[in-house]
Structure 1
């Protein structure tokens, strides 16, 4: 299959979701070119080398148009996945707003222009549920076609702008564009990369409990948490879709659970006996950052299921078991 499958070029390939997607495509025997300013983690190099597909890792900045164009010209991909992003918290918004838009918007428009000039057939732009913003404060599901986009931070604003710009350029340049709004991901390869300011709440809680520290939650933190292996499968399903019926799809779990549920499940696992977690009492400080002062409404995935056949595989227990096994494997590699 590796000899006949199209070449897929992935920006942000050394990042959290980028690595998960690369791993998923390589496991299918495909040829992938990864582009990232950061190097691959050592554990990722070994994991990817063991898979049947062919992977080329390139170091480069998505804001460097000349280098990016040269890489496209050499590798001639048929498909481009734009995953590179700066996921900014308020401190970065105050300190370096230009950098957020340089990566999340300007680099997207550059990639679209260069993709067209280099004969790329399909572009998949990874957007975010953060584009829904204040609409997520309501009780109903968030739908791609009729829920208003009301982003509240520069990350969500930049994602909304990138979607609109990409759609305009796709029309002008004749590109086959799909946009996937990712839900809140957690799981393997999530780590501190310098461009993702707040780790997922499930990872924050897991890190604390693994280190023997107490976890205090400000509230249960209920959300449609998306295990990153399902996120990768959803991206791949959209990338493969022959003729998507709509321009934008939610890529989400389709079910909810809470970080309180997660902590309770972890405490039932070997090695976590007696772990200390609770909802913080009045006046007690929480030590898991919940992103916002509300739990965002879930993202509908009816269209994704209908048009791609995607079915999420990882509920809380299955995700937890897989994540703990993966962490154990990484620990063993580090001490080998």
Structure 2
């Protein structure tokens, strides 16, 4: 069985669904007690309560299940960022990652996948394709990419020291059913919600004003989950780091055009005037090693996401 931390979360739940579709059973580790949702109600799914910062509790999961692989998607950073005890919060964040490797060693797991982020490319002076072999600056403007860079360096060390195969997933902008953040990093989720509910989009959480030309590599969450599952189950991987993405930049204007094909009177127009810069994650590696290719273009993703929300789902 594949142990998935954060397996009931946004990306995690779709990754579990993809693993099930590929014939794998999954153990979902959650810090709080929870049950699998209806779409993951399967005899091959087990939900275990365990905090990954508690090594004893984590190792105990392995006494009840035969763990053959680990997909680590739970957060590995101090949170909240303004914690009163930042040193202790950092110790717990890094300790959780180390506990994952300790468990992998104890259980004899050969491959551990760890979530990283598109944000590690911040500061790379490039437009167009961002490749995994590009040099990255040591600095990061935000807590998330800062700790993902630390994690990638730790993963490289631990892979060499333990012999465990470690795979870093540099995940792009992910959107779709279950998305929890709204317009925190990009406008698309808020535009979709507004269209589905006949409202104006709330873009106030964004760090700056949204423009029609703004573009980011947007990967539909079902594609993301399938990509991670393929990386976990591949017979052989030729690299440690893989971009998990759509492999193209999608602008707000494209999202709006797709929305209006489904909801012609949607009030989702944005002003022009953005920078027009469009970088994206190159997906050559993951395609060559797993056969991954995104199944959702913008129109298909928008149509399905709106239908999902209109069916009564809240996010």
Match of 1:189 among 178, 187, 199: 178
Mapped to 1, the partners of 2:157 and 2:126 lie a distance apart of 30
Q: Secondary structure at the match of 2:37?
A: helix
More divergent stretch after superposition (217-226 vs 108-117): 217-226
Per-residue CA distance 1:52-81 (angstroms, 9 max, x = gap): x61001222222221111112321201001
Match of 1:145 among 133, 139, 158: 133
Which residue number in structure 2 is paired with residue 58 of structure 1?
48
Per-residue CA distance 1:7-43 (angstroms, 9 max, x = gap): 10000111110011011112233210001224558xx
Which residue number in structure 1 is paired with residue 40 of structure 2?
48
Q: Aligned residue pairs: how many?
A: 305
Does the 8 A contact of 2:76 with 2:94 survive in 1?
no
User: 1:108 and 2:97 equivalent?
Assistant: yes
Residues 11 and 174 from structure 1, CA distance in 2 versus in 1: closer, same or farther, beyond 3 angstroms? same
Does the 8 A contact of 1:14 with 1:39 survive in 2?
no
Which residue number in structure 2 is paired with residue 285 of structure 1?
none
Q: Secondary structure at the match of 2:261?
A: coil
Does the 8 A contact of 1:184 with 1:224 survive in 2?
yes
Mapped to 2, the partners of 1:320 and 1:264 lie a distance apart of 10
Match of 2:6 among 6, 9, 12: 12
Structure 2: gaps spanning 5 or more residues? 204-208
Does the 8 A contact of 1:73 with 1:118 survive in 2?
no
Q: Secondary structure at the match of 2:99?
A: helix
Residues 186 and 40 from structure 1, CA distance in 2 versus in 1: closer, same or farther, beyond 3 angstroms? farther
More divergent stretch after superposition (98-107 vs 167-176): 98-107
Does the 8 A contact of 2:120 with 2:149 survive in 1?
yes
Q: Secondary structure at the match of 2:81?
A: helix
Structure 1: gaps spanning 5 or more residues? 1-6, 283-289
Match of 1:72 among 55, 58, 62: 62
Q: Secondary structure at the match of 1:226?
A: strand
The Cα shift of 1:256 comes to 2.1
Per-residue CA distance 1:283-302 (angstroms, 9 max, x = gap): xxxxxxx9xx9967211111
Match of 1:210 among 189, 196, 201: 196
Q: Secondary structure at the match of 1:298?
A: strand
Residues 29 and 128 from structure 1, CA distance in 2 versus in 1: closer, same or farther, beyond 3 angstroms? same
Mapped to 1, the partners of 2:266 and 2:311 lie a distance apart of 22
